[in-house]
A and B are shown apart, each in its own frame.
Chain A
Amino acid sequence: MISLGSNTSSRWQTDQLLLWLLRGVAVIAGTIVLLIVTFLAMEAFPVLRHVGITRFFTDPSWHPAEGLYNLTPMLWGTLFATVGSVLIATPLGILSAVFCHYYAPPAIARPYRRLIELLAGIPSVVYGFWGLVVLVPLIGAIRPPGPSLLAGIVILTIMILPTIALMANASLTNVPQQYVRGAAALGLSRWATIRGVVFPAAKSGLFTGVILGTGRAIGETMAILMVCGNVVQTPDSLFSPIRTLTANIALEMAYALGDHRAALFVSGLVLMAMIAALVAAADWISHGRVHG
């Protein structure tokens, strides 16, 4: 009844062609990370050869013009700002998610989640700007100078809170309803249920959220640069200005040459290493190796 064409072998070739095309494209996408690491390493190589790794920690100070490359004050800056903000944002974020699931009347839960999503969408430069014109003068009025570790922590907290809250929200959604019902049947109170049943069940999602938030905090540049004062020093109080690794790159890249420029790429490598460690941690957690 029907005679159909017989161009099947040419179609098979099209399939093969498509497959190779896709593979080529995917290889590009997959190798960008390698490319990044390679270029960072290449640019960092000269200074690593002249100066060696240890001097990045043992030099008396960061004065690249005079050949002094001590990164530790910046490392401390990054560390303090990150740890501080994660410590504040984690409870706030998780409580926000708990609120949406177990405390809020439905009429409030939805708008509140929307609000968190909105917060997640605001760009870092706007947070930085707000911190600069509102927060920094406020802190300065309490204790000068104003631009400080504290300002950095507050801004970072606001920035990573949505990440943690949204992840926590997603993982609470995945907690099976029968756990909650079972706990209710035992006569457990609301908070006891949340602490004893919901949190353990959602543990891995909560951790993943915190890790993502930490990654964001470590990598944040503009906002922190705008509010932290950028003095190269190991902070001795919440009110002293600091400079983070990322801010250091952003500030000096514009005019850095030679070994100085290479030293900035070294700090880029350090950041990459931190992120790689975090990804590994997230992976470890999401494969269920954290149990309640």
Chain B
Amino acid sequence: MVKMMERNLDGRELLASTLVWSAVALVTATFCWLLGDIIWHALSHITWTFLTTPPRNAGREGGIGSILISTTLILGVCLGVSVPIGLGTAVLLAEFTTDDSLFGRLTRRSLDVLSGVPSIVFGLFGNAFFCKTLGLGFSILSGGLTLACMVLPILIRSTEEGFRAVPTGYRLSAAALGLSRTTTLVHLLLPAAVPGLLVGLVLGMGRAIAETAALIFTSGYVDRMPESLLDSGRALSIHIFDLSMNVPGGDANAYASALVLVVLLLAINGTASWLAEHWLRRRIVTI
């Protein structure tokens, strides 16, 4: 009887191990396949000229110079708008409202919903609000503003975390010294919360660079070098999409652009997790 139970147990244990290991093998294999395929096809293609020359012949030839510029501009607009708003909101939520206040609860809840909104819906909204209502048209500005709405929740969450990681002792002793809240915030809390802010910034950047759907009908497809923020500009992810879907014979350049995008994102996410691990843990900052 006991023998039987044991055999049964062993069998189940074995099955579980097999399942776990095969799941892991499957995931790893898929990942290697995907990355290997892209690197294999793209590596020979990536040259300095590819990175700096504008695309020709609908992108089949030439490089991605103007596309990288547009991407940077869109990212710049996005961060330029979202960082001040995100920082302010995070400060308010972490330092000036209690967890159970109505205002705090409402804001937090609406940010939760915002972080779940599908990117295509952001695209719809951006098209209706920024392009049409505000009259910005298909432009880098519209795209950047749409992305700003999208990255706000990430930015706010990790900045808030940064503020919450600052020991309460600083706030108490600052108050006991009769320092105003503004001073306490600017001179003590803000420097100590910088790591959290940076992590949020980097994560937001990652999300913005990876985005495609929210940009198709806000920043548009035009692959020329943008002359101002009101020009349409094609982001790198849209370039990949367009080359692979709409341009027969665009695969080679699509591969190369995909590798550039993946490398950019891996670098960005690597920075974020490095920051989170090494800097956030060392909470004490010396100025």
Contacts and interface: CB of A to CB of B under 8 A. Distances in A.
Interface of A: 11-12, 14-15, 18-19, 21-23, 25-26, 28-36, 39-40, 42-43, 91-92, 95-96, 98-99, 103-104, 112, 115-130, 132-134, 158, 161, 189-192, 194, 215, 218-222, 225-226, 246, 249-250, 253-254, 264-265, 268, 271-272, 275-276, 278-279, 283
Contact of B121 (A125, A127, A271): A271
Contacts of B268: 121
Contacts of A265: 124, 128
Given A12-B180, A95-B19, A103-B17, A18 B185 contact: yes
B181 A272 contact: no
Interface SS majority for chain A: helix
Interface string B6-34: 00010011001101110110111011011
B77 interface: no
A118 B262 CA distance: 10
B116 A134 contact: no
A222 B212 contact: yes
Contacts of A98: 20
A30 B27 contact: no
8 contacts: A26-B103, A122-B34, A123-B211, A134-B34, A219-B118, A221-B119, A254-B216, A279-B112
B236 to A, nearest CB: 9
A107 B169 CA distance: 39
Given A15-B182, A18-B182, A271 B244 contact: no
Contact of A14 (B17, B103, B180, B216): B180
Interface in B65-98: 84-86, 88-89, 91-93, 96
Given A33-B111, A161-B27, A278-B116, 5 more contacts: A11-B182, A23-B103, A29-B152, A124-B212, A220-B118
Nearest to A92: B23
B197 interface: no
B166 interface: no
Contact of A275 (B116, B182, B209, B213): B116
A17 to B, nearest CB: 8
B240 interface: yes
Nearest to A157: B30
A30 B111 contact: yes
Given A121-B266, A123-B261, A222-B213, A26 B181 contact: no
B124 A118 contact: no
B27 A92 contact: yes
Contacts of B20: 95, 98-99, 103
B28 A43 contact: no
B89 A26 contact: yes
Interface in B208-244: 209-213, 216-217, 237-238, 240-241, 244
Interface string B96-139: 10000001001100111110111111111101110001000000
B38 to A, nearest CB: 7
Contacts of B174: none
B19 to A, nearest CB: 6
B277 to A, nearest CB: 11
A126 B149 CA distance: 23
Contact of B23 (A91, A128, A283): A91
Contacts of B34: 122, 127, 130, 134, 158
Interface in B256-274: 258, 261-262, 265-266, 268-269, 273
A28 B210 contact: no
Given A219-B117, A250-B120, A253-B216, A121 B84 contact: no
B244 A275 contact: no
For the complex of A and B, list the 6 residue pairs with the smallest distance between their C-beta atoms, beginning with the closest.
A219-B118, A123-B210, A25-B88, A191-B16, A221-B213, A121-B269
B285 interface: no
A172 B17 CA distance: 18
B125 A40 contact: yes
B118 A11 contact: no
Given A26-B88, A123-B261, A279-B116, A219 B24 contact: no
A225 B30 CA distance: 20
B244 A15 contact: no
A122 B113 contact: no
A103 B121 CA distance: 41
B26 to A, nearest CB: 7
